[in-house]
Amino acid sequence: MNRFSVYSVALLALFAFVATPALAADETIVDIAVGNDDFSTLVELVVAEDLAETLAGEGPFTVFAPTDDAFAAMPAFVGMAFERNPELVSEVLLYHVVPGTLLAEDVLASETLDTAQGGALQVNMLDEQPRVDASNIVATDIEASNGVIHVIDTVLLPTSVYQEVLMQIRDALVVLVSQMQSQYAH
């Protein structure tokens, strides 16, 4: 296949991924996510955390939606933090939601975006790739009746996740030191 054909196929695939949902602006953010297999993990978590009704509501919302691949690539410490503190799942999901409808140009015109979780996302460019926090924005402006979706390649993690991980490390160190002290005390 020549270079032109490869680029054409890639462009058509990207257009199909981005343009099809954008043409269905009568669907909510949740409807669009449910209809896209790349968001099955996100949808599963949103439903499990009772956020589907909210995100299907009037809004408007801007959602930075991680793909299934993004969830699969999450570091193991995140899952451990979720096990220890299940409330973090909702915090992480709400960290992906910004009140209002922000199209790509609005996002890129901002340095920070205040999230529904209470934290702030940092907007930046790295090698001409738009990013929020440490995640690349890989597709933009998927318009819904109650806002817009931007697809990202990494799950965004608020500070609370890192704080929980540090607490786990501290607790493990306390146990380890206690065991070592009792072992050497004899």
pLDDT tens track for 48-97 = 999 999 999 998 999 999 999 999 999 888 888 888 888 889 999 999 99
Strand order through the sheet with 97-99: 97-99, 61-66, 147-152, 135-144, 129-132, 120-126, 112-114
Q: What is the rounded CA–CA span in Å between residue 175 and residue 59? A: 46
Residue type, 11: L
Q: Which backbone phi and psi does 91 adopt, to 5 degrees?
A: -60, -45
What is this structure's pTM?
A: 0.78
Q: How does residue 8 score in pLDDT terms, banded at 50, 70 and 90?
A: very low
Q: What is the mean pLDDT of residues 100-128?
A: 94
Q: CB within 8 A of 139, min separation 6: which ones?
A: 14, 17, 18, 150, 151
Alpha-carbon dihedral of residues 6, 7, 8, 9, nearest 10 degrees? 50
Q: What percent of the chain has pLDDT over 90?
A: 58
DSSP 3-state of 24: coil
Q: Which residue has the tokens 């926090």?
A: 133
At residue 160 the predicted structure's pLDDT band, cuts being 50, 70 and 90, is confident
pLDDT in tens, 126-151: 888 999 999 999 999 999 999 999 99
Q: Which whole number is the average pLDDT over 3-12?
A: 32
Question: Please, are residues 95 and 118 in contact by the beta-carbon 8 Å criterion?
Answer: no
Structure-token pair, residue 24: 């269905």
Q: Is 158 helix (H, G, I), strand (E, B) or coil?
A: coil
pLDDT one-digit tens code per residue, 20-56 = 444 456 899 999 999 999 999 999 999 999 999 999 9
CB of 79 within 8 A of CB of 155? no
Q: What is the mean pLDDT of residues 159-181?
A: 75
Model pLDDT, residue 21: 43
Domain boundaries, the chain: 24-178
| Pairwise CA distance, residues 98 & 137, whole Å | 15
DSSP label at residue 154: S
pLDDT of 87 reads 87
| Domain spanning 24-178, CATH architecture | Roll (2.30)
- Name the maximum alpha-carbon separation found in the chain: 75
